[in-house]
A and B are shown apart, each in its own frame.
Chain A
Amino acid sequence: MPSIENGVPRLAAHARLRDDPLTGALLLLYPEGVLELDEIAAEIVRRCDGQRTVGAIAGELAEAFEGEGEEIARDVAECLWDLRERGLMQLDP
């Protein structure tokens, strides 16, 4: 995985977020599939607006969850890269 700290993630055109009316979880829907996002993934993906960089998103999360910055930055990058590999996130290093 390359360094993507300065990349600006944006949901792919065919991926759509919605709340699950049955469970309240945030869902990422795409052709033939659905991902149920856990609390952290939901916080990350909600911030992928095509404006914020990966680094900025990690910074916001570190502040919101008062976590260890480096660890959160790694988790955020891994989550977004995984979504990119699935074709659900536009993200160039």
Chain B
Amino acid sequence: MNAGRPYGLLAELTHRCPLHCPYCSNPLELVRRGDELAAGEWVRVLKEAAELGVLQAGISGGEPLLHPGLLEIVAAARDAGLYTNLITSAAGLDAALIKELMTAGLDTVQISFQADTAAQADEIAGARMHERKIAAAEAARAAGLPWSANVVLHRRNIERIGEMIALAEGLGAIRIELANTQLYGWAFANRRELLPTREQAVRAEEVARREAVRLAGRMQVIYVLPDYYETRPKPCLHGWGSRGMTINPRGEVLPCQVAGAIPGLQFENVRSRSLREIWQSSEAFNRFRGTEWMPEPCRSCEFKEVDFGGCRCQAALIAGNAATADPVCEFSPHRALVDGLIAEIEAMPAGPPGWNFRRETVLPVAGR
């Protein structure tokens, strides 16, 4: 199988995190601290990634600030020429650390916000964090470190999208990404509590579009619709194993951060093989590369090179088969499962959220 060149690497330094967001993109089975790659291993991997053609490194987690080798890892990414973005909850990000990170060569920082008010944000995060995030954003701006805001949208906060944009604008963000929850992992377990109604999603999109025009050239506004409300699937990863990869805290290399949701897929580890070998020839990366794996209706579909059959993980989670069309697609034989979930949540009464917070030891209840 002909592997192209990867552009991006998401480095999950740790799964440890002081927040407990019910839509966490980490897998349900979190990697233990003792299994985490050490700084020296990341340094080697980042160099290998750059040689393979990677241009962007996202330093993520969990909370990457909890990894003891963070500064060394950031410096290694930058030394390898990578555009280096720290993706953080901002817990522990103060002026002194910002200065050290900038000296190490960090290009930009992305700070997550859960909502625009402390009351709601702290409730969603399951921790008192909102005011500390604001202080961190102010410190980044004061230091001249460009920062982006990232907000995961869901039924409980999506109607405050205008206020969230105003918050980021007031704090001098260069960019705000307002992404509806991707329903995998912890979020899939909590999907009935997270998916907004269609009306909410459409209204939020209107606000985002208007604000994007108003702020053009000053702050980029990106809105990602919940894909359950699309008729065609997202071009997930621009095709499996095509442009990027994720390395989890214990060194396993995944086509995307939630690919562990696909049963039976074995991920190879940077501790035992080179990144180049894993990217080019591992079974996990080649499984859904290109279009050969596709069954009908994808195989003869005129859009197969446009959306690549959508998302393999979503097919696995909803249809129970990763090698089938993304059930979001209007041509999928499983679209009724998505419509059924939408009908279910549209009929749900308003009330306090019944979601399961991310915990280290407790697995969420799937369904109710």
Residues of A that sit less than 8 Å from B by CB: 12-14, 16, 18, 20-22, 27, 29-32, 34, 84-87
Contact = CB atoms under 8 A, between A and B. Distances in A.
Contacts of A16: 83, 107
B216 A34 contact: no
Interface stretch (B93-101, B217-225, B260-268, B318-326): B217-225
Which one of B5, B108, B218 has the highest number of Cβ atoms from chain A below 10 Å of its Cβ?
B108
A85 B174 contact: no
B9 to A, nearest CB: 13
Nearest to B145: A13
Interface of B is mostly: loop
A86 B177 CA distance: 14
Given A13-B144, A13-B174, A34-B55, 20 more contacts: A12-B146, A13-B146, A16-B107, A20-B55, A21-B50, A21-B53, A21-B81, A22-B53, A27-B55, A29-B55, A29-B83, A29-B107, A30-B83, A31-B83, A31-B108, A32-B56, A87-B174, A87-B175, A87-B216, A87-B218
Contact of A31 (B53, B174, B217, B218): B174
Interface of B: 5, 7, 50, 53, 55-56, 81, 83, 85, 107-108, 110, 144, 146, 148, 174-175, 177, 216-220
Contacts of B108: 14, 31
A87 B220 contact: yes
Contacts of B175: 31, 87
A31 B110 contact: yes
Nearest to A29: B83
Contacts of A27: 55
B217 A14 contact: no
A20 to B, nearest CB: 8
A14 B50 CA distance: 20
Contacts of B177: 32
